[in-house]
Chains A and B, each alone.
Chain A
Amino acid sequence: MKRLRIDPRWPIQLARPVPAGAAPSCCSQIHAALRTFRPDQPFRAVRHQSTSALTLDSALEAAAADEPYDDGTDHVRFPPLERLPNATKLPSPLPERALTSAKLAALHARLSLPQKLPLQTLARALVDVSADENPLFNNVNLAFVGQTITHYHVAEWLMCRYPRLPMTIMYAAMKAYAGDEILHSVARSWGVESAAEPGGEVDPGLLQFSMYKPVSHIGFGYGRKDNSQVEQGRWRRGIANRVLFDDDFGEQIGHDTRKKAQIPTSSQRTFSYGTEETRAAAERAHAAAVRAVVGSVYAHCGREAGKAFIRAHILSRTIDVSTLFEFKSPVVELARLCQREDFEPPVARLLSETGRLSRTPVFVVGIFSGKDKLGEAVAGNLDHARYKAAMNSLKSWYLYSPGESVRVPSEMLVEGSKAWEPTYIDIGEIIHG
């Protein structure tokens, strides 16, 4: 798998959060000033006084607007039940509003997040890049950290648990545990609600994203020099190529495959809401929020807390990995496997049968290598039974596992851990065809 982007030996601890009693007015001024800070622009020693004053003043004005929020109702006849937020032109709520949001505090407690993680960071984790472009106030960087940590822990757990898994199945398993679709599902299972439209006046406990702004979320990998050649099918994009260039799910970076939702179009699912693009945007935003929460746990609470969070929320989910396999020519592949491992060549034998001349025959076929039975299967005709038996034999080889509670390399980063015994590392999958 790819090398780690961030070394987990370096726990990143952010500064302590601003206590709730701190002066709110100066905070909003600082936050407003940060809004005008553009880290991408080069530093200019000489600035035009007027333009800088304009931007700073307008930002302060927007932040400190005191006119009451106008939602179209008569506030005299029907006084609002709660204190409504001030009207504001800011794209996302001010961080200090995070301290007064009941939804956010409920989310913090529902996830049992440690007290070290402040509410302001959790609020930031719910602001998508399509809601607010400023990287100081959205979850892009937190999501990137969280994505890196998540992919590392999921990959290491899968590799130690299923050392012989073929690369394509490994990619599918990675996606099943840490892909956009499943993280969207995780966000919904946490009870994360989304605002109808992003803005500075929404509740900070809502996930803020825009379904209509096309934004690209960060991926990590290398773009190939000539993507067009690969698309046209002239250049091969094999597994080794994918491991080298593509992202952690084997998908191309910089290729516009991310426009569509992860659900394959060949599936029979029909949706009653939205369009393909809006569903994809919602999926990406929810997945980014989950990654951002993971990233914030890692940043505030350290490496082991991040790992424990991933284990509790992502790796506790289950999938039957044997259902991910789809073989092309299993009989040939099994023969090659036996050849490589110096087993005797596989022979299919009929173990039992019934009703050969009837409408519903049943054949139980076993594949033997010498005297050892590698696998067996039941089917309605002899060829189908042989193919199934070959598939079962290959699955029993590829799905070998030293157990669910296998030791992973990141355990050695903990002080006082036992001496490392090498895990089983496989020679590789069968390559043919």
Chain B
Amino acid sequence: MGVKAVHRITTGRNGLGAFILQCKKMDFHYCDWAGSSKGMNGFIKSILPKFAAAHPQIEFTVSPRPSKHPVITGHYINGRDKAICVRNLEPLQILKKVELLRDASGEKLKKVTKPVQSINESVRGIWSPYHGNGMRV
């Protein structure tokens, strides 16, 4: 045959067609005795129901973790998870942490130095010494 084929697969581009929120589950652990969990208990009673209703694509779990600080764990589609201890925080501060978890992808935090990250090659192309007017020495 003239042309053989190489086996390759496509790359997904989240958001181009459909957008999949990367946070798929959030666990909320509270304690009825510890004073550090006061804000968390208030958050679960007052703010969490509305937040959960606004994010139907996230699975929420609320469970007691006695004698421990309150913790929120976010589970992501890439299999990793992120835990944030919310001891001694007010409900609105806890909401900020929850929004942080919701907006994160599961990737490890990386320092970004370049302005553009893309899978496409450059539009103007890479300079070549063999094309164009060459180099006059």
Residues of A whose CB lies within 8 Å of any CB of B are 81, 102-103, 105-112, 166, 168-169, 171-172, 175-177, 179, 181-182, 185-186, 188-191, 238-239, 262, 264, 311-313, 315-319, 323-329, 333, 351-352, 354, 362, 364, 378, 394, 398, 429-433
Question: How many whole Å from A429's CB to the nearest CB in chain B?
Answer: 7
- B7 near A172 (CB under 8 angstroms)? yes
- A109 near B57 (CB under 8 angstroms)? yes
Instruction: Give every chain B residue within 8 A of A175 (Cβ-Cβ).
Output: 7
- B8 near A328 (CB under 8 angstroms)? no
**Residue from B10, B21, B131 with most neighbouring chain A CB atoms (10 Å):** B10
B137 in contact (CB, < 8 A): no
- Cβ-neighbour of B18 out of A262, A313, A329, A378 (below 8 A): A313
- A106 near B1 (CB under 8 angstroms)? no
What 1/0 flags go to B62-83 for Cβ under 8 Å of A?
0100000000000001000000
Given A182-B9, A323-B8, list of 17 further CB < 8 A pairs? A103-B59, A105-B59, A106-B57, A108-B56, A109-B56, A168-B1, A172-B7, A176-B10, A188-B77, A189-B12, A189-B77, A190-B20, A312-B18, A316-B13, A319-B8, A398-B3, A429-B3
- B56 near A328 (CB under 8 angstroms)? no
CA gap between A179 and B8 in the complex, in Å: 10
Known pairs A102-B60, A110-B24, A111-B18; A166 contacts B13 (CB<8 A): no
What 1/0 flags go to B1-32 for Cβ under 8 Å of A?
11111111111111011101100110000000
Instruction: Give every chain A residue within 8 A of B13 (Cβ-Cβ).
Output: 316-318
Instruction: Give every chain B residue within 8 A of A189 (Cβ-Cβ).
Output: 12, 14, 20, 77
B-side interface mostly = loop
- A179 near B17 (CB under 8 angstroms)? no
B89 in contact (CB, < 8 A): no
- B63 near A81 (CB under 8 angstroms)? yes
- Cβ-neighbour of B130 out of A168, A169, A311, A362 (below 8 A): A362
B112 in contact (CB, < 8 A): no
Question: How many whole Å from B22's CB to the nearest CB in chain A?
Answer: 8
CA gap between A362 and B17 in the complex, in Å: 43
- B130 near A378 (CB under 8 angstroms)? yes
Question: How many whole Å from B43's CB to the nearest CB in chain A?
Answer: 19
- B5 near A172 (CB under 8 angstroms)? yes
Question: How many whole Å from A278's CB to the nearest CB in chain B?
Answer: 18
- B56 near A106 (CB under 8 angstroms)? yes
Question: How many whole Å from A396's CB to the nearest CB in chain B?
Answer: 14
- B10 near A182 (CB under 8 angstroms)? yes
Q: Can you give 19 contacting A-B residue pairs, CB < 8 Å?
A: A102-B59, A102-B60, A106-B58, A106-B59, A107-B57, A168-B4, A168-B5, A172-B5, A176-B8, A181-B9, A318-B13, A319-B8, A319-B9, A319-B11, A323-B6, A326-B4, A326-B6, A429-B3, A431-B2
- Cβ-neighbour of A317 out of B3, B11, B130 (below 8 A): B11
- A169 near B17 (CB under 8 angstroms)? no
B119 in contact (CB, < 8 A): yes
CA gap between A360 and B119 in the complex, in Å: 30
- Cβ-neighbour of B2 out of A106, A177, A316, A333 (below 8 A): A333
CA gap between A175 and B9 in the complex, in Å: 8
- Cβ-neighbour of A316 out of B16, B21, B56, B57 (below 8 A): B16
Instruction: Give every chain A residue within 8 A of B59 (Cβ-Cβ).
Output: 102-103, 105-106
Known pairs A176-B10, A186-B12; A239 contacts B18 (CB<8 A): no
Question: How many whole Å from A408's CB to the nearest CB in chain B?
Answer: 16
Instruction: Give every chain A residue within 8 A of B77 (Cβ-Cβ).
Output: 188-191
CA gap between A384 and B24 in the complex, in Å: 51
Instruction: Give every chain B residue within 8 A of A262 (Cβ-Cβ).
Output: 7
